Amino acid sequence: MLQKPRNGACASAQAHSSRDLGPVGDTGVLNVSSGPSSSKDTLNSSSQGSHSSQTATYPGLRTQKQLELKVAELVQFLLIKDQKKMPIKRTGILKHVIRDYKDIFPDLLKLAVERLEYVFGYKLVELEPKRNTYILVNALEPLEEDASVRGDQGTPTTGLLMIILGLIFMNGNGIAESEVWDFLQRLGVYPTRKHFIFGDPKKLITEDFVRQRYLEYQRIPHTDPAEYQFQWGPRTNLETSKMKVLKFVAKVHNQDPTDWPAQYCEALVDEENRASPELSGPILSS
C-alpha cells in the first residue's frame, strides 16, 4: 500500500505501526517514527537520504543507500527480537521490516545474515525445519567470566533453566511436572509462591520457557487430573548439547560426567551426530 509522503519527507515504511523497531540490544539504538498521529512528522530519515515510497514501487530503482539501510534495519530487528529470546517469524520480518522490498527479500536476508555473523558473531538458525521461525545462536562461546562485564545479569533465569534441562536429560529425556516441582521445592522454588528472583516460577517454566522454545510442555495422555511432562524444546538443542548439560549436572554434584555411564554414552552419540549430521538417522526424539 503506498503511503502518501508527508512534508516532503517519506512516510512510507516508517508510518506503520509505531512499534516496529527499537533499541539494539539494550542500548536503545534509535529507530522508527513516532507514529502517524504525531504532529512532528519531520521524523524518519536523516538529511543523508530517505526511504522513498515512490521509488519503492519501482524495484531496481532503489539506491545502494536504500538497500544498505534496509539491511541495517533487518540486522537491528533480528538482534532486538532475539534479545527477548522470542523466536523470529518470517512473516514478522516481512511485515515489519521488508515491506515493499519483498521482491528482494532473500538477498536482503542473505546480506543481513552475513553481517550478523561477521560483525556480531551470531548465526541465524531455523528453529524447526519448514516452520519459518528463526533464532540467533551465538557463534562465540559464552564464558563464565563474561558475567562480570555484562550489563544485564545475563538472564538470572538461566540457572533455573539449566537445572530443569538437567532434570529432563538425566531422567531419560522427559520428566513429569510433579517431579520437577518436588525437586525445585528443595531449592525453595514453589509453583504457587512468588519467588524473589524468578517471580512467578510456574509461569516462567510452563509458559515463558516454552514460548522461548527451550522446553516442551505436554499433557501426558490418559491422566486425570491432567498431568504434564517436560522435554527439551528445539531451541535447547541448538543452543546447548547433552554433553554440556551433563557436564553442568556433574559439576553441581561435584562429580565426573562419566559417573553416569548411560547418559554419558548418550551424550557422546549426540556429539558425534553434531559433528557429522549426515550420518545421523531420523531426528531423535529427545
Partner 1 sequence: MQGSTRRVGIMTDIHRRFLQLLMTHGVLEEWEVQRLQNHCFKVHDRNAAVEKLEDFINNINSILESLYIEIKKGITEDDGRPIYALVNLATTSVSKMATDFAENELDLFRKALELIIDSETGFASSTNILNLVDQLKGKKMRKKEAEHVLQKFVQSKWLIEKEGEFTLHGRAILEMEQFIRETYPDAVKMCNICHSLLIRGQSCETCGIRMHLPCVAKYFQSNSEPRCPHCNDYWPHEIPEVFDPEKEREAGVSKSTRKSLRSRQH
Residues that bind partner 1 (CB under 8 A): 14, 18-35, 37, 40, 42-46, 48, 64-65, 68-69, 71-73, 75-76, 79-80, 83-84, 115, 118-122, 138-140, 143, 145-146, 148-152
* 142 alpha-carbon distance from chain centroid: 15
Residue 119 or 262 with smaller CB distance to partner 1: 119
Q: How far apart are CA 177 and CA 164, in angstroms?
A: 10
Q: Would you say 107 or 227 has its CB closer to partner 1? A: 107
Nearer to partner 1 by C-beta: 145 or 224?
A: 145
225: cis peptide before it, omega within 30°? yes
Query: Which helix (H) or strand (E) is 176 found in, with range?
Result: strand 175-176
Burial 214-240 (b: 16+ CB within 10 A, else e): bbbbeeeeeeeeeeebbbbbbbbbbbb
Q: CB within 8 A of 103, min separation 6: which ones? A: 59
- In the complex, what is the shortest distance from the CB of residue 256 to partner 1, in angstroms, rounded to a whole number? 26
In the complex, what is the shortest distance from the CB of residue 146 to partner 1, in angstroms, rounded to a whole number?
Answer: 6
**Residue 217: beta bridge partners?**
230
- The DSSP result for 71-123, as a single string, is HHHHHHHHHHHHHTTPPEEHHHHIIIIIGGGGGGHHHHHHHHHHHIIIII-EE
Q: How far is the CB of 98 from partner 1 (least distance, A)?
A: 16
The least CB distance from residue 102 to partner 1, in Å, is 21
Cβ–Cβ contacts within 10 Å for residue 73, how many? 23
Residue located via cell numbers 553416569: 260
**The three three-digit cell numbers of residue 135, written as one number:** 533464532
Report in angstroms how near the CB of residue 122 gets to partner 1 at its nearest.
8
From the CA atom positions of the chain, what is the Rg in Å?
23
- Taking the C-alpha atoms of residue 56 and residue 66, their distance in angstroms, rounded to an integer, is 9
Q: How far is the CB of 245 from partner 1 (least distance, A)?
A: 23
Using the minimum distance from each CB to partner 1, give the nearer residue, 37 or 254: 37
As measured in angstroms, the least distance from the Cβ of 152 to partner 1 is: 4
- Least Cα distance to 258 among 243, 270, 273 occurs for 243
Query: What does the buried/exposed string (b/e) look like for 183-196 if buried means 16 or more CB atoms within 10 Å of the residue's CB?
Result: bbeeeebebeeebe
Minimum distance, C-beta of residue 43 to partner 1, in the bound complex (Å): 4
